[in-house]
Homo-oligomer: A and B are copies of this chain.
Amino acid sequence: MVTSGPNLKRFGITGDCYTTNQSNRLEKNLNYGGYEDVATIFDIAKQAGVSITTVSRALNGYSDVNEKTRRRVVEIAGKLNYYPSAAARSLQGKKTNTIAFAPILRESGEPDPFLKEFIGTMAISCLSHDLSLLVMVATSTQDNSETYRELAGSGRVDGIILADVEPQDHRVAILQELGIPFVAFGRTTDYASLAYPFVDVDGAAGIQELVNYLYEQGHRRIAYLSDPVNSSCVVYRHNGYREALIQHGLEENPQLSIGDLVHEQEIKTAVARLFELPFAEQPTAIVASHDRLALNVLYALRERGLSVGKGSGQIAVSGFDDLPFAAYLDPSLTTLRQPMGAICTILLEMLVAVLKNKSEVEPENQLPGLNWVGPQQVLLRPEFIVRASA
């Protein structure tokens, strides 16, 4: 085995822990705390015997520089490992080819799986747009309006993708006021009058479709477990639930509709409350406002010895998001898929269009299957995925 060497430390978080130190050597080799001198446009100019203007214009493909000169400049730039300073460039008002992704991390014991999925997908999507992604997670939309103003004013990014938008999200106002190009995932209550571009998933329509399905399956006492109302999507999903009940002549039963659930323990308690009702009042189906919540419901039901599925006597359970684990749960989870890949692609296309000062997404960049009348406000229909749990 070659994994161990004289200079290698081995640590085990939950295991062995054997170490060797080699800091001396390291100190010598590395010049930390700042970069080594990097070649600038001046160095190239000197070597090429031309002015920095000419170097700049040669490198940027202007037509007023002799082809021979250009070749010389390019060659020297290559030899010197020259790359223009992004800072100096953006001081000149040039694009940074970087966009920011600004989601919110709500309090919840573990790191939010949906958020991780979202960030990861977004980062990967950026690859095909030749954009770098600056991820700036915040813990609340309120605390640090500073963060957004700073992000906006600092000129580090060309535009911003806002996520986890709240019903009254002042970030939208800030960005509009400052005139920063942005696109939101999710919408504020006043999206119609504010008229900013966004993508959202139609949670209301999704949940309605789901509840209709449950109703058709014979369910009449359909419980709804929800996370706290922070993102707007929580509101829309709840609305969808309520509307669907009304359509079927039912109405929301406060005993079956429990909100504000975050931690596993709270969810357990909520499930307990449901099944400590008189048997005739107990739900036969539980709609959870997102997959992780549904997962905890599944566990809570199992703990109580209740069986989940479509059979008679079984409790139906559904989620929302279709995170990767949903398909693998036992029983596999019936849910509404948020098409992550598509969401990220559309957000990026919209932002790029906005940055180009266009109101339309370029035809060749339009994701097929969508009606790209204009890129401003897009509502995607979640995909209803029936699996074993309902």
Contacts and interface: CB of A to CB of B under 8 A. Distances in A.
Interface in A163-215: 176, 178-181, 191-192, 194-197, 202, 204-205
Given A15-B381, A81-B149, A357-B33, A373 B195 contact: no
A85 interface: yes
A354 interface: yes
Contact of A377 (B1, B8, B98, B113): B8
Contact of A83 (B2, B150, B179): B150
Contacts of A123: 116, 119, 135, 137
Contacts of A342: 13
Contacts of A253: none
B32 A376 contact: no
How many copies of this chain?
2
A67 interface: no
A306 interface: no
A3 B38 contact: no
A175 to B, nearest CB: 10
A120 interface: yes
A288 B86 CA distance: 43
A153 interface: yes
A204 B124 contact: no
A82 interface: yes
Contact of A137 (B117, B127, B354): B127
A383 interface: yes
Contact of A179 (B22, B36, B85, B137): B36
B196 A30 contact: yes
A88 B91 contact: yes
A133 interface: yes
Interface of A: 1-3, 5-17, 19, 21-23, 25-27, 29-36, 38-39, 81-91, 93, 96, 98, 105, 111-113, 115-121, 123-124, 126-127, 132-139, 149-150, 152-156, 176, 178-181, 191-192, 194-197, 202, 204-205, 236, 239-240, 243, 295, 323-325, 328-330, 339, 341-342, 354-357, 359-360, 369-371, 373-374, 376-381, 383
